[in-house]
Amino acid sequence: MDKLVIAGKEFNSRLLVGTGKFASPEVMAEALEKSGAEIVTVALRRVDIENKNDDTLRAIDVKKYLLLPNTSGARDAEEAVRLSKLARAATGINWVKLEVTPDPYYLLPDPIETLKAAEILVKDGFIVLPYINADPVLSKRLQDIGTATVMPLGSPIGSNQGIKTRAALEIIIEQANVPVVVDAGLGLPSHAAEAMEMGADAVLINTAIATANEPSRMAEAFKLAVEAGRTAYEAGAAVSGKNANASSPLTGFLRE
Amino acid sequence: MLSTQKHSGEITSRDVEQALGTPAGCYSPEKLLALISPAAEDYLERMAQLAHQLTLQRFGRTVRLYAPLYLSNYCVNGCAYCGFNKDHQFPRIRLTIENALAEADIIAKEGFRDLLLVSSEDRLFVSVDYLCELASKLRPKFSSISVEIYQMATEEYAKLFAAGIEGVTLYQETYDRDTYRKYHHSGPKADYDNRLSAPDSIAQAGMREIGIGVLLGLSDWRLETLALGEHAHYLIKKYWKSHVSFSFPRLRPAKNVDRSQFYFLSDKNLVQMITALRLCFADAGLVLSTRESAALRDHLIEIGITKVSAGSKTSPGGYSQPKNAVEQFEIDDTRSPFEVAEMIKSHGLEPVWKDWDSAFIKG
């Protein structure tokens, strides 16, 4: 499996994992371990980023994982920028998963405010990984600004519905100059494998692992699925078609 | 389709099954009507299981914790059911900013980061300026501050928001006009229509969290729940950036109370109400206070409740000087915050003390 490269940094794992919704920091730590992930995202709203003794933060070994703070809960660009700066000041980490989700129900990302925030943060030296709807033009606009990835959703966050945005995701992947991380909505390992087979560079999983009966085993299942999907993509899938196609009804005459 | 014309008594098991077959977490008045009907009482286990699954999916294995801080029990209203009714004779207490900060220190030491400031209608003392000053001083210690106080105007709520207060809880108490009139004799709160407009003002001021509810026991809970559902649906559609949560304050039979006066809600129907609202509003916060017993609360966090208070004192100054003052209502679950957190853990859930950050609001 190729290495994943984001902002010049290499990763062996193509599975990013979120840290919300777990039953305890211990359960989370075990799941992270089994997932093989090297990038884990934490919601700034949930952790006390300035406090080294925060239960969740203590459970994440920063020597092993790149801690990716996210701005979950931010309603507009101003809030997202403020939170990002606070996190950088407290941790020295200049990576941020940019989430601007003014709708508290489906937590769908606001394209306008996300673009605004990305512009400010990139200029300010942040490595920005924006969570977006599966919008190819927005993806292009963000890449033009200089974001490190784009993170389009497969379906609404936490919904476990799998990939419902396939047509748009295919365009984003086709056109991307930066890694495409499919984020949100992937509920099963097969969904993750599907995204990887399509050519996504990585996927991010949280709810499907955290709320499984056995989070650490589910984490392992996702790890395997991501590896399988990526390997299949690299191997080049056989073309599939509905019918066997032995004869050439239109061009057969050329051989006659 | 179910008919909205149907009275809840005419709902059949077929209607309930149809309602349970609709996408979990999506609202329609017909669905809510079916789920709170007497016929749905036979489906409580299934409703609870669906509510459990949906809550798990949307909120994860977590329960949020908060604590109330009572600021004043001086009041200009004469609400018949309330311990702080202006006509009651008892020594009233107001906390100065310094007193309130001392109480907050005790609460913070117990682990809380989510604080609810509570006051009766005491505008002269617990003024907008008082609340803004208090909030600005509390912000370093608490990641989320909200209020449950008298009704304000949009501009006043906006000032609170700017000072770092991000949520407002305000109950209609009852959606039934006649019942409302019966219990709210005097004071500014006696105006039903004005009260009903409060959540609009709260949302228009930009508040993130709007808590609504009825005082269960004043009127028929089924009608109240339907009204609550419609109110929430209206708010969610109109103010799409604010999050709506429901609370379930329940009047309990007390010694000197004429039972025939009230519509006491049974545990069974409370469960029905909670699960029905969850199955109609996947992402709504469902909040439960220490009014309820430890045993019941332990069960309800499994079937939809997402936020609970713990170790609450319901009189001003109650944390530093317990048993010194008249309480707004008697609490039933008297366990310490630590004990409640341990109970939550024993259910395989994580007690969440912080799910917000004061940095969201400028200041």
- Which one from A3, A34, A63, A97 is the annotated catalytic residue? A97
At B257 the pLDDT is 58
Mutate to test the interface with B, among A51, A205, A211 (most CBs of B within 10 A): A211
* Residues contacting B259, CB < 8 A, separation 6+: B253
Place of tokens 């061009």: A251
The domain of A66 spans 4-255
β-bridge pairing B285-288 and B167-169: unpaired
pLDDT over 80 (residue A100): yes
| Residues A62-88: tens digit of each pLDDT | 889 999 999 998 999 999 999 999 889
Would you tell me how many other CB atoms lie within 10 Å of the CB of residue A94?
16
Reading the block at residue B23, the tokens are 């996408």
Asked if B346 reaches chain A (Cβ–Cβ under 8 Å), the answer is no
Which class would CATH give B54-360? alpha beta
Write out chain B residues lying below 8 Å of A75, CB-based: 208, 241, 360
β-bridge pairing B62-72 and B285-288: unpaired
How many whole angstroms separate alpha carbon A63 and alpha carbon A41?
15
At B361 the pLDDT is 75
Mutual orientation of helices B221-238 and B267-280 as an angle, nearest 10°? Answer: 20
Listed as ranges, residues in chain B with pLDDT below 50 are 1-4
Asked if A76 reaches chain B (Cβ–Cβ under 8 Å), the answer is no
Place of tokens 């989070």: A215
At residue B276, the 3 state secondary structure works out as helix
β-bridge pairing B144-148 and B350-352: unpaired
Domain containing residue A210: CATH number: 3.20.20.70
Reading the block at residue B9, the tokens are 């008594």
Name B116's bridge partners: B68, B146
Cβ–Cβ under 8 Å, residues B278 and B243:
no
At B2 the pLDDT is 42
Cβ–Cβ under 8 Å, residues A19 and A41:
yes
Closest C-alpha to B80, from B217, B212, B196, B197: B217
Cβ–Cβ under 8 Å, residues A188 and A226:
no
ipTM of this complex: 0.71
At B301 the pLDDT is 93
How many whole angstroms separate alpha carbon A187 and alpha carbon A157?
10
Name B5's bridge partners: none
Cβ–Cβ under 8 Å, residues A89 and A114:
no
A184 conformational bin, left if phi > 0, alpha if psi -120 to 50, beta if neither: left
| Residues A142-200: tens digit of each pLDDT | 999 999 999 999 998 878 899 999 999 999 998 899 999 999 889 999 999 999 999 99
Q: How far is CA B224 from CA B24, B33, B47, B193, in A?
A: 22, 11, 19, 16
Q: How many domains, in total, are found in chain A?
A: 1
At A241 the pLDDT is 58
Place of tokens 């949930």: A46
Asked if B23 reaches chain A (Cβ–Cβ under 8 Å), the answer is no
**Rg of chain A (C-alpha set):** 19
| Residues B88-137: tens digit of each pLDDT | 888 899 999 999 999 999 999 999 999 999 999 999 999 999 999 999 99
Query: What is the domain partition of chain B in residue ranges?
Result: 54-360
Would you tell me how many other CB atoms lie within 10 Å of the CB of residue B253?
9
φ, ψ for residue A204, nearest 5 deg: -120, 130
How many whole angstroms separate alpha carbon A140 and alpha carbon B298?
50
Cβ–Cβ under 8 Å, residues B146 and B168:
yes
Asked if B240 reaches chain A (Cβ–Cβ under 8 Å), the answer is yes
How many whole angstroms separate alpha carbon A201 and alpha carbon A220?
19
Asked if B141 reaches chain A (Cβ–Cβ under 8 Å), the answer is no
* Residues contacting A194, CB < 8 A, separation 6+: A162, A163, A229
Would you tell me which residues 48-67 of chain A have a C-beta closer than 8 angstroms to some C-beta of chain B? 48
What mean pLDDT is reported for chain B?
Answer: 91
Closest C-alpha to A124, from A186, A93, A81, A164: A81
Instruction: Walk across the sheet containing A95-98 and list its strands.
Output: A151-152, A127-132, A95-98, A66-70, A39-43, A15-18, A202-205, A181-183
Mutate to test the interface with A, among B26, B61, B236, B245 (most CBs of A within 10 A): B61
β-bridge pairing A151-152 and B167-169: unpaired
Active site residue A97: yes
Which percentage of chain A shows pLDDT scores above 90? Answer: 68
Give the distance from residue B18's alpha carbon to the nearest chain A alpha carbon, in angstroms: 22
Cβ–Cβ under 8 Å, residues B154 and B205:
yes
Give the distance from residue A252's alpha carbon to the nearest chain B alpha carbon, in angstroms: 53
Give the distance from residue B33's alpha carbon to the nearest chain A alpha carbon, in angstroms: 22
